[in-house]
Amino acid sequence: MKNILQDSRPDRSKNQQRILRLTLSAMLLALFFIAGNIIPPVMLLPEIPFTLQTFVIGLMALFLGCKGGAMCLTALFLLTAAGVPMMSGFRGGVGVFLSPTAGFILGFAFIIVTLGLYADVIRDRLASQWLRTAVFLLLSAVGIVLLYGAGAFILAVQTGAMGSFFTLLTANFIFFPLDMVKLCGALAVYTFMRRFL
């Protein structure tokens, strides 16, 4: 099961695929805004809101693959930099990427890469459903840990507490089970919606 941009159905032209890609990207960007702002975030750690935005990033990676997901994430970053309040707490502007928590935003790229590779390349090469699930869970865990690493690193740099990097990193693992659930939820939605795309 490849991502939709690799769909080789004979009745779907390149133009139709392009329209589908743009439509999905727009929907996912809108969903990202809703996940961070309309649905109230939960503050499990000071200054770090727990939202459903990672769930939407997982959807971007699975539905659009590495290339499409990267383009959608870039559009998200550009909209944010232009002042559109895409991030949780209705935050927008260049200052979002200069804040102590910027690493948790930039770290979304790791989810795009790991799950995008799963959708583009790895999934179709695995015959066993159990093996597919195991690889998905492994790649999800890797993406989440890299995201935490990026977040902890920039937080440590911004606060001048590089000696506390590992403390900051491990503190984020309170989110780990919940983030894994969000990415598994993204896979469930992707698997279900593939029937209609």
Q: Residue 71 CB: number of other CB atoms within 10 A?
A: 16
Say which residue, 44 or 53, is predicted with more confidence: 53
Q: Which CATH class is domain 4-192?
A: mainly alpha
Q: Give me the pLDDT at residue 159, please.
A: 84
- Helical residues (DSSP H) of 96-128, grouped into ranges: 102-106, 108-117
Tell me the domain boundaries of the chain.
Answer: 4-192
Is residue 50 within 8 A of residue 179, CB to CB? The reply is no
- The 10s digit of each residue's pLDDT in 130-170 is 999 999 999 999 999 999 999 999 999 988 887 789 998 99
Among candidate residues 108, 104, 106, 109, the one with its CA nearest the CA of residue 47 = 104
Provide, rounded to the nearest whole percent, the portion of the chain with pLDDT above 70: 90
Work out the mean pLDDT of the chain and round it to a whole number: 89
Strands annotated E in 25-76? 42-45, 48-50
pLDDT tens, 98-141? 999 899 999 999 999 999 999 999 988 988 889 999 999 999 99
Instruction: Grade residue 196 by pLDDT with cuts at 50, 70 and 90.
Output: confident
